[in-house]
Structure 1
Amino acid sequence: MQNQKIILSEKAMARTLERLVSEVMERRGDNENLAIIGIQRRGADLAQRLKDLLDDRLGRKIPLGKLDINLYRDDWTNLSRQPSINCTEIPFDIESSSIILVDDVLFSGRTVRAALEAVLDFGRPRRVELLVLVDRGHRELPIRADYIGKEVRTGGDQHVNVLVKERDGEDKVVLTLPETK
């Protein structure tokens, strides 16, 4: 049995998303070209929530996209392992947009690198900023988030799981610790 520690409860997660929206509004709220793109899967779910909160606070509709980065990943070298392909939907013009790229957990930075590559295949945005719910450290690439919900320093043998109601039936963030013997 693995040991788990709750990092964010449902209420804490909701408060964190509210704070992140406030930070985005403070920096970019007056930008008419603001758009949000969520990295599939849970990043896309969080992006939808952030969009809804921003729409309500700003009194206008913020464009929303979903991005599948699986074909851009650099770790699909083993033929026995096939990527699970999700959809990419970017129903707005990326050119000149100020994009908030949303993911659930920032770890090595490889997912974000793949996402940036994928976004650039759609055009050249004016700016791309990264928003993550959890930053757990251990970067392998020089990537940092502009908006961070919670920083959690983890060991290499630990794992951070973000659960969202849309997929998991509940909202919380859990740190899975290695089994003790």
Structure 2
Amino acid sequence: MEHTVRRIAYEILDKYGDRSMAFVGIHTRGVVFADRVYQVVSEKNSCLSKGTLDITLYRDDQDNLGAAAAVKSSAIPFDVQGSFIILFDDVLYTGRTVRAAIDELIDYGRPARIELAVLIDRGNRELPICPNYTGRYVRTEARERVRVRFRETDSEDAVYLLREGAEE
């Protein structure tokens, strides 16, 4: 996983060098992914900002979440208006999470540009969302799930492909 994080970081550096930009992670594991890439990019670029988004209230499936859905806070400590933002998530599947994140970002202001970095792209999109940076493309079926685990949140770095009904 470390190699993949570094590769994405260097792709960003190769493309944008020391340009001012903001990394925004989608809770929960997108935040960890963004932090890891930020650590590498910030060694060569000091014009970086960081933020986090909790898209719970922007989801289009809130009826399925139940009353106990945990809402975390979003933290965007920079001016979104005119900013160049790279949005980070661990897994891209239908595109609905990213759509919700973009909706929330735009509520903060109108960025000049938004790009997307994902650790795993599962394919099977329902919305026309395409990542600019991809760690790995893993084509999956609807009955399968991809589970990303990070040391910071899960005590290990791992990616699992789980079949329906499999224990996590």
TM range (shorter): over 0.9
Q: Is residue 92 of structure 1 aligned with residue 65 of structure 2?
A: no
Identity, in percent, stands at 44
1:91-110 equivalences in 2 (<5 Å): 91-110=77-96
Q: 4+ runs of 1 displaced by more than 6 Å?
A: none
Separation in structure 2 between the aligned mates of residue 176 and residue 78 of structure 1, nearest angstrom: 21
1:47 aligns with 34
Q: 1:78 to 1:163 in 2, by over 3 A?
A: closer
The DSSP-based 3-state class of the residue aligned with 1:150 is strand
- Deviation readout 1:67-102 (Å, 9 max, x if unpaired): 010000000124744421011111111111110000
Which of these residues, 31, 40, 61, is aligned with residue 19 of structure 2? 31
Q: Structure 2 counterpart of 1:76, which letter?
A: Q
Match of 1:150 among 130, 136, 157: 136
* Contact 2:18-2:47 at 8 Å conserved across structures: no
Tell me the TM-score normalised to structure 1 length.
0.87
2:8 aligned with 1:20: yes
C-alpha deviations, 1:21-64, integer Å up to 9, x for none?
011111122312x1100001000111111111111133x15100
Give the number of equivalent residue pairs: 166
Q: Which runs of 5+ in 2 are unaligned?
A: none
Q: C-alpha distance in 1, partners of 2:158/2:30?
A: 14
Specify whether residues 89 and 156 from structure 1 end up closer, same or farther in structure 2 by C-alpha distance, changes over 3 A only.
same
Q: 1:170 to 1:61 in 2, by over 3 A?
A: farther
Partner of 2:125: 139
Tell me how far apart the structure 1 counterparts of residues 39 and 92 of structure 2 sit (CA, whole Å): 23
| Residues 65, 89 of structure 1: 8 Å contact kept | yes
Unpaired segments ≥5 residues, structure 1: 1-12
- TM superposition score normalised by structure 2: 0.93
| Aligned counterparts of 2:59 and 2:23: Cα–Cα separation in 1 | 21
* Alignment check: 8 A CA contact 1:76 1:82 kept: no
Letter in 2 for 1:70: T
Note the aligned Cα RMSD (angstroms).
1.5
